[in-house]
Amino acid sequence: MKWLLLLGLVALSECIIHKVPLVRKKSLRRNLSEHGLLKDFLKKHNRNPARKYFPQAEAPTLIDEQPLENYLDTALSPPRQAEYFGTIGIGTPAQNFTVVFDTGSSNLWVPSVYCSSLACMDHNLFNPQDSSTYRATSKTLSITYGTGSMTGILGYDTVKVGGISDTNQIFGLSETEPGFFLFFAPFDGILGLAYPSISSSGATPVFDNIWNQRLVSQDLFSVYLSADDQSGSVVIFGDIDSSYYTGSLNWVPVSVEGYWQISVDSITMNGKTIACAEGCQAIVDTGTSLLTGPTSPIANIQSDIGASENSDGEMVVSCSAISSLPDIVFTINGVQYPLPPSAYILQSQGSCISGFEGMDVPTESGELWILGDVFIRQYFTVFDRANNQVGLAPVA
């Protein structure tokens, strides 16, 4: 009878559509600019690699769709991080938080009533005493990002995301969030969707826990990031919705099971190789707004598209030149993925900003490129844990 009940629950999950919508609002970058902090912020953090991609650098110590909101180009790590975020609930009754759905990290954490930092004063705080299902632990958590950090404790509770009740989920409750970065951040916490091998303190990631409980029908999730300023973006847990893409999905093997890392064959412009001539490694990262790569080839790309630094330290191009710029083509597993200038030039408040960012992230397999939201907005992406592969198709 127990097995019949389990099969019934799985069949039921296949009939339920769970979406977490994403909406675009004023960015952290704009908040920093309005407070006169943007130039110093970029100058400071452009010198440093993103520690998010170095887990060893931590400080010691069904169709389920989740709608997301997009805080374009805010900063976490690397220097400008896109916040496509959604609302989740933690506890019983649920306490709501906006979190970044980040395929470039693996931990879930939110601010808590134990936090004494200035950043916590302007965000929702989790209170364990208000949840009848909370279970405390003696474990601690410490995460250092490129432009921010947090420390805290680990606990267990029910996490509600896109209609799924993820019971017995371990998560971080922040006690400190130093610096001003998280104070200006338009989100509360982070929900990591990368592999458990890079999870701080060995905490089981949310999607792993969801799959282990068979709350979805397939061991995968997919992401659609809309270019719309208000809504349309979703993360889909447990299935693939073909209405979000055209043609067929092309599958790319994961080369390293930590981040969602893949191999890139080459990067070309006007038929000429401009980077990655002998192949390179890249991370598909919803938590990074721009498209980043090693500083030298990125500098060449900026020059080729006519980008120059403005007074805020951003790389800008003439808006009138966009129509004459070429596609930049990423060839991945033998398939070409062109990025038109409308994708890699970000237009905001009369400015046209390059969507490329130089950042050196050395690994054993060479320096990494990071295919952030600039890329993912063009290509519906499936993150397939069952087969350790990434599926890509042009967005509809």
The residues assigned a catalytic role are: 102, 285
Tally of CB atoms within 10 A around 93 = 10
* Pairwise CA distance, residues 25 & 27, whole Å: 6
Q: How far apart are CA 30 and CA 312, in angstroms?
A: 11
C-alpha separations of 282 from 262, 263, 289 in Å: 5, 6, 15
Taking the C-alpha atoms of residue 32 and residue 49, their distance in angstroms, rounded to an integer, is 20
| 39, 188, 169, 202 alpha-carbon torsion, rounded to 10° | 20
Torsion-angle region of 5 (φ positive above 0: left; ψ -120 to 50: alpha; else: beta): alpha
Decide the pairing of beta strands 366-371 and 291-293: antiparallel
Q: Report how far residue 385's alpha carbon sits from residue 111's, in angstroms, rounded to the nearest whole number.
A: 29
Going by C-alpha positions, the residue among 207, 190, 106 that lies closest to residue 147 is 190
Residue whose tokens read 């966009």: 322
Return the amino acid letter for 300.
N
Residues whose CB falls within 8 Å of the CB of residue 376, separated by 6 or more in sequence, listed in order = 223, 225, 284, 286
Contact between residue 351 and residue 357 where contact means Cβ atoms under 8 Å apart: no
Nearest to 120 by CA among 77, 80, 178, 207: 178
DSSP annotation string for 201-265 = GGPPPHHHHHHHTT-SSSSEEEEE----SSS-EEEEESS--GGGB-S--EEEE-SEETTEEEEE-
Tokens read off for 197: 């091998």
